[in-house]
């Protein structure tokens, strides 16, 4: 039996839930899943321009594990890009450093629900307007 994987640390959720290509009818659209830790590996290595060993430390995993996740991420993104598939960023084995929510009205990422007055100003207690993103 496989060893249970420990949670990989992800600093924050992506702004979007995924990507979809245009020019492909919705009924023909297939989906490729990108896990949250795959997204984080791409963000750290290709966007923040960190060395893989530095990204591994931030995600609290070994360098070989980071490389495996990163290669899988590239493979999934490439598959979606070349084959015209949508990407859904979801799932995986991860934890955020702190609590994150998404507003159901404007889809903005929100750290502190109380500070997000724009969508809850008429009802101060309408915290059900938020989706809890931590797993």
Other Cβ atoms less than 10 A from the Cβ of 112: the count is 9
End-to-end CA distance of the chain: 24
Binding to Zn ion by CB under 5 A, coded x per residue (else -) over 51-90, reads ----------------------------------------
State yes or no: residue 106 binds Zn ion (CB under 5 A).
yes
Rounded Cα gap, residues 42 and 11, in angstroms: 13
Nearer to Zn ion, 57 or 103 (CB): 103
Spatial contact of 45 and 55, defined as CB atoms under 8 Å apart: yes
State yes or no: residue 133 binds Zn ion (CB under 5 A).
no
State yes or no: residue 131 binds Zn ion (CB under 5 A).
no
State yes or no: residue 103 binds Zn ion (CB under 5 A).
yes
State yes or no: residue 31 binds Zn ion (CB under 5 A).
no
Number of residues that bind Zn ion (CB under 5 A): 4
* Structure letter (DSSP) for residue 12: S
Kindly state the smallest distance separating residue 106's Cβ from Zn ion, in Å: 3
Q: Which stretch binds Zn ion (CB under 5 A): 15-23, 46-54, 58-66, 119-127?
A: 119-127
State yes or no: residue 24 binds Zn ion (CB under 5 A).
no
* Structure letter (DSSP) for residue 20: -
Rounded Cα gap, residues 58 and 75, in angstroms: 22
Spatial contact of 127 and 99, defined as CB atoms under 8 Å apart: no
Residues in contact with Zn ion by CB under 5 A are 103, 105-106, 119
């Amino acid at each position: 039996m496989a060893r249970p994987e420990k949670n990989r640390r992800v600093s924050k959720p992506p702004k979007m839930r995924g990507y979809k290509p245009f020019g492909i009818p919705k009924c023909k659209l297939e989906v490729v899943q990108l896990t949250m830790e795959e997204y984080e590996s791409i963000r750290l290595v290709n966007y923040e321009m960190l060395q893989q060993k530095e990204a591994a430390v931030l995600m609290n995993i070994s360098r070989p594990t980071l490389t495996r996740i990163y290669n899988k991420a590239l493979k999934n993104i490439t598959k979606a890009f070349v084959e015209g598939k949508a990407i859904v960023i979801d799932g995986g084995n991860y934890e955020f450093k702190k609590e994150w929510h998404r507003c159901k009205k404007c889809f903005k990422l929100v750290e502190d629900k109380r500070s997000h007055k724009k969508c809850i100003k008429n009802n101060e207690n309408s915290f059900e307007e938020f989706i809890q993103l931590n797993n």
